[in-house]
Structure 1
Amino acid sequence: MDGAQAPPVVEAVGIAKRFGPTVALADGNLSVRAGETHALVGRNGAGKSTLVGVLTGLHRADAGEVRFAGKPAPAPGDRAAWRERVACVYQRPSVVRELTVAENLFLGRQPRGRFGLLSPGRLRREAAELLEAWAVPVSPDLAARDLTVEQRQLVEIAGALSLGARFVILDEPTAQLEAKAINRLFDRLRDLQQQGVTFLFISHHLPEIYEICQRVTVFRDARHIVTAPVAELSHDKLVEAMIGEARGLVQVGADRPSVSADAEKVLELSGVGVPGFVESVDLSVRRGEIVGVAGSAASGKRQLAEAIAGLRARSGEVRVTGRVIKAGQVPAALRGGVGYLPGDRNVDGFVPGLSVAENATMTIAGKLGPRGFVLPKVRDGRANTMIADLDVHTAGPHQPVGELSGGNAQKVVMARALASDPEVLVLVQPTAGVDVRSKESLLGAVDEQTRSRRGALLVSDELDDLRVCDRVVVMVGGRVVGEHPRGWNEAELVAEIEGIGESGV
């Protein structure tokens, strides 16, 4: 039977998955035919990663069914059986850097010789045979840390195929590759297709979908929207499926005054680069201005924000109100006038066991009493002001932040960013994982705080966040590729984020 008549290599039907109160996937459906490269696309938060977790056995679905070649998926704990059916090559390396290519290929299943002892010679020989069989031009003796991104991906694919899997998920495989390396990778994928390997290709760079994939599935808002042959889905229809009808919050900041070209520059970036993520960015933010930064997960936008806040090493120059900020030093950024809200409040935003007051005033602890001592009354007084200003629903300044809802916890993180009275706010995903009312409150605070007192750089995947901005710049591949004034067209912005229009498509 050909690929269209045989049972799908993998089929997911009605997959639903929740993480606590968050619905990560409500209606996940996917059917991938044998020998094809099938695209899975959608905006961040659409449910793609959750589906991949279910397809690889890392997440147990709350509802729905996964079948491989028409048969039910293995039991959740049977990792060996899962590896025989599916493999995933992630954007982040899964090889062990300190080991050789051969040792990585046979990690946990090293060939043995006489008396059951490990056999380095047999390990090297079988690794060389495996690499040759799948046409991976890499020495088995090479240390994994010395692999290029392209080589690492091919080694991981070869390792997956050696376990028996003929269905491989590629998660943003081209995000860190140059054009020539992308072409070579695509040539290898086509060769592997001819040998019976099936791929699920996840990418934010839509032109690649039209180049390498035969069919595409679109997810939006945790649901399956459409599956269609790539040749039958125009670029406009694909973007429309990804974003749906234009919809948003109450238009926060719709009446923002225009910012004068003569207004003071509170933030200036000159040739700012972050190794491996950002090439060179020149950008400025004026007092009274909110500048949005949009881009895919691999665009470098988050790493740029982290570099401004002193969390990453960088090249180039960052100035706040004309003063140079030392690179890679959080205290220097804080003293220099940068207020920072991180992208994941649960990981980087707050300490759950500490109180609202302790979390909100963490960056100004040295100003809450004489000689660096913290006076509880002073601290709680500052916290009460923040609670009132940001409408934090809490039992009081002494309540642990871990007991608050997501929206109120995020308001505490915002309060901390504002506590030092910064010249510029650097905000990453400021409304992630909060309800509509909290979104409006948080964006309202950004609007109010930047009308005259300071500026803001707002980095977000959420179109509703970007609507409050006076202008939005788009990053692709570590560089700024476009700028849009307030009132931008949603389809045009998303198309630029996803790379449509590049390479002639």
Structure 2
Amino acid sequence: MMSIDSIAVPGAPAPGTAPGTTVEATAVTKRFGATTALADAGISIAAGSTHALVGRNGAGKSTLVSILTGLHRPDSGTVRFDGEPAPALADRDAWRRRVACVYQRSTIIPTLTVAENLFLNRQAGRGPIGWARLRRRAGELLDDYGVAVDPGAPAGELNVEQRQLVEIARALSLGSRFIILDEPTARLDATAIDRLFTRLRALAASGVTLLFISHHLHEVYEVCDTVTVLRDARWILTRPVAEVGHAALVEAMTGEAVGLTEWPARPPVTAETPVALRTTGLRLADAYTDVDLEVRAGEIVGVTGSGSSGKVSLAETLSGLRRPDGGEIRVGAKPVSPGSVPAALAAGIGFVPQDRHREGLVPLLSVEENATLPIADRFGPAGAIVPKRRTAVAEEMIARYDIKTSSPYAPVNSLSGGNAQKVVLARALSTGPRVLVLIGPTAGVDVRSKESLLGAVRAAADDGTAVLLVSDELDDLRACDRVLVMFHGRVTAELGRDWEDAEVVAAVEGVAAERIGATRDSATDGIGAPEGAGK
């Protein structure tokens, strides 16, 4: 076992070293049963570059990553690191020295300390573990990479940004100079994304090679040098980012020219429309205070703000996941018992949580079972389930929400991220709720799935459902009738349909719009509209 004293912080390549190719996968094919996950695909990544890998859910990105990290062996084709053949799959230490992946779902073990996570399975060489030395070395490593985290703190207390930085530091301490980042910004707010991008640029400048996987195409233009597109398990293109326009990139991903986020105007919601959701004086210690809001039947209200704004806690309170310290929630004229998920469901509140993996799905159950969980009592007498009835309803949901699955009986954890999110939304809408509350409904999904999800939300609103949509994404907010901005636990701004990007960014940051630039181009650098998107 490697000793912590033998671990050196890797530096930049020696002066004068020619920048070669860090990793090259050529003519890679991988099949899982009858499914071809990759067909003669490949990628070549230059040393010290930040290379984007994009494609719709199901395009083959995850399979390619699993091959580049040694989790799967390709059926045919080759993988080389720095010109040398990839190690044997059984030699895990050799793979860790060549490549590390920071996944969208954290691999940090929450019950261990930060230091223990950094040096997992490397705590000591011979003899007992020297805990003081372990924490000291962890502190030195964190300092080297500018990560302001206590090495003795339980990892479960870290926020999303801190967990990602600890994982990056752990990967570099193993000696890897090639890091794969899988949707690293999916759960970060604008300020944290800016900090992450600053660190990524510094790593690239020091010679670290990065493979950046994202569904947010504006991020590709902001932080990447080169982009590779996969579609339908095949390689489509690899080009310098500066040479590929936004429309061309989307067309390469989808196989057709599309106009994204151009939502048709909805009829205005009038003052005579009944109020479906009302909160009065709602407050929760250290999260938000004195939140008064109304959402009328058929209205889509967006809520945005920084990570500390309280927006997520507010949505979780409405769904019954959190108990407020005071105030009232009403659906229609009836008060909702606070802090109770069953009470929220009974009142007619549907909910799409922030983390579909941990909170939205039961991974070992089928697509059918997950989608119909809240209405299982409708499929037979006295609580019994008639399988044919449930399957018929599930098949109707699969068709309505365009869920790509081999069968209603397929395990839900076999779906791509976008299709899994569609299952979560289908379940939230299965009861015909009066109010639908969503948190980041399009996080980590591709452009087509995003359109499909937002289209389903708009269709629900057209049918009279009141929608409260909490999101950091400007594309999500464009689908809304109005947008509320929260800052330090309070609603500080309300924007009508004609809002401009700069207004939203300024309100989120708590500054005047003119201080961050009045043009949309300057605003989109902040929280994420794709190139060319606007009102």
Q: What's the TM-score once normalised by structure 1's chain length?
A: 0.64
1:31 pairs with one of 38, 44, 47: 44
- Residue of structure 2 aligned with 1:338, choices 338, 344, 349: 349
| Aligned counterparts of 1:37 and 1:85: Cα–Cα separation in 2 | 16
Give the CA deviation at 1:215.
1.8
Letter in 2 for 1:35: G
For 1:73, the aligned partner's letter is A
Once residues 369 and 190 of structure 2 are traced to their aligned partners in structure 1, the CA distance between those partners, rounded to angstroms, is 50
Select 1:266's aligned residue among 236, 254, 276: 276
Corresponding residue for 2:530?
A: 500
For 1:99, the equivalent position in structure 2 comes to: 112
| 2:69 is aligned with 1:56 | yes
Selected match of 1:362 from 376, 384, 387: 376
CA contact (8 A) 1:265 1:284 kept: yes
1:69 offset after TM fit, Å? 1.7
Letter in 1 for 2:102: V
Matches within 5 A, 1:348-427: 348=362, 361-363=375-377, 374=382, 383=389, 390=396, 402=409, 422-424=433-435
* Displacement of 1:83: 0.6
What is the rounded CA distance, in whole Å, between the counterparts of 1:332 and 1:273 in structure 2? 19
- TM-aligned CA deviation for residue 351 of structure 1: 5.2
Listed as ranges, the matches of 1:418-497 within 5 Å are: 422-424=433-435
Q: Which runs of 5+ in 1 are unaligned?
A: 249-253, 295-299, 394-399, 486-491
Rounded to whole Å, the distance in 2 between the matches of 1:130 and 1:424 is: 48
Structure 2 Cα separation of the partners of residues 404 and 187 of structure 1: 39
Correspondence for 2:307: none
Gap change, CA 1:306 and 1:59, over 3 Å in 2: farther
Aligned to 2:167: 156
Give the deviation of 1:312 after TM superposition: 6.3
What letter is aligned with 1:34? A
User: How big is each residue's C-alpha offset from its partner over 1:215-249, in whole Å with a ceiling of 9 and x where there is no partner?
Assistant: 2223445443332222333444444444552579x
1:500 aligned counterpart, secondary structure: coil
Q: 1:184 to 1:355 in 2, by over 3 A?
A: closer
* Residues 1:231 and 2:242 are matched in the alignment: yes
Query: After superposition, where does 1:68-87 map in structure 2 within 5 Å?
Result: 68-87=81-100
Distance (Å, rounded) in 1 between the aligned partners of 2:329 and 2:128:
57
Moved more, 104-113 or 302-311: 302-311
Aligned-residue RMSD, C-alpha: 6.4
The residue type equivalent to 1:144 in the other structure is A
| CA-to-aligned-CA distance 1:287-328 (integer Å, 9 cap, x gap) | 46789999xxxxx99999876544567899754334343454
Contact kept in structure 2, 1:474 and 1:496, CA below 8 Å: no
Report deviation, 1:88: 1.4
Q: 1:476 to 1:43 in 2, by over 3 A?
A: farther
Which secondary structure state, in structure 2, belongs to the residue aligned with residue 161 of structure 1? helix
Count of residue correspondences: 470
Give, in whole Å, the separation in 2 of the partners of 1:275 and 1:237: 48
> After the TM superposition, which of the residue ranges 212-221 and 273-282 deviates more from structure 2?
273-282
CA 193–310 in structure 1, closer or farther in 2 if over 3 Å, else same: same
Code of the aligned partner of 1:266? A
Structure 1 residue 47, shift from structure 2 partner = 3.7
Q: Determine whether 1:329 maps to 2:359.
A: no
- Aligned equivalents of 2:347, 2:338: Cα separation in 1: 12
What CA distance in whole angstroms lies between the structure 1 residues aligned with 2:89 and 2:76?
A: 14
Give yes or no for contact 1:287–1:450 (8 Å, CA) kept in 2: yes
The answer (yes or no) to whether the contact 2:303–2:486 under 8 Å persists in 1 is: no
Which whole-Å CA distance do the structure 2 matches of 1:276 and 1:173 have between them? 26
> Residues 233 and 304 from structure 1, CA distance in 2 versus in 1: closer, same or farther, beyond 3 angstroms?
farther
Q: Secondary structure in 2 aligned to 1:9?
A: strand
Question: Helix, strand or coil: the match of 2:26?
Answer: strand
Gaps of 5+ in 2: 1-13, 305-309, 400-406, 499-520
Letter in 2 for 1:362: A
In 1, are the aligned partners of 2:39 and 2:233 still within 8 Å (CA)?
yes
Match of 2:223 among 212, 221, 243: 212
- 1:170 paired residue number: 181
The structure-2 alpha-carbon separation of the partners of 1:482 and 1:142, relative to structure 1 and needing over 3 Å to count, comes to same
Q: Deviations over 1:321-358 (max 9, x none)?
A: 343434542211221023568868994499559999x9
Compute the TM-score of the two structures, normalised by the length of structure 2. Answer: 0.61
Aligned partners of 2:258 and 2:438: how far apart in 1? 23
1:196 alignment partner, SS class: coil
The one-letter amino acid of 2:70's match is: G
**Offset, 1:87:** 0.7
Equivalent AA in structure 1 for residue 344 of structure 2: A
Q: Quote the offset at 1:163 in angstroms.
A: 1.6
- For 1:280 and 1:23, the matched residues in 2 are separated by 54
Q: Look up the equivalent residue of 1:70 and give its one-letter code.
A: G
Report SS of the residue matched to 2:21. coil
Aligned equivalents of 2:286, 2:183: Cα separation in 1:
15
Question: Structure 1 residues 29 and 270 mapped into 2: Cα distance closer, same or farther (>3 Å)?
Answer: farther
Match of 1:297 in 2: none
User: How far apart are the structure 1 equivalents of 2:79 and 2:290?
Assistant: 44
1:27, CA displacement in angstroms? 5.8
- Maintained 8 Å contact 1:362/1:416: no
- Aligned mates of 2:465, 2:320 — CA distance in 1: 19
Letter in 1 for 2:124: P
Quick one: structure 1 residues 288 and 77, their matched pair in 2 at CA, closer, same or farther if it must change by over 3 Å?
A: same
Contact preservation (8 Å) 1:363, 1:420: no
| Whole-angstrom distance in 2 between the partners of 1:77 and 1:140 | 31
CA-to-aligned-CA distance 1:134-172 (integer Å, 9 cap, x gap): 565655444434555554433322321222211011234
Q: CA deviation at 1:383?
A: 4.5
Cα pair 1:278 1:477 within 8 Å, conserved = no
Whether the 8 Å contact between 2:189 and 2:527 is mirrored in structure 1 is: no
Q: Compare 169-178 and 17-26 and name the one that shifted more.
A: 17-26
CA displacement at 1:100 relative to structure 2 = 3.4
Maintained 8 Å contact 1:293/1:473: yes
- Residue 155 of structure 2 aligns with which residue? 144
Partner of 1:396: none
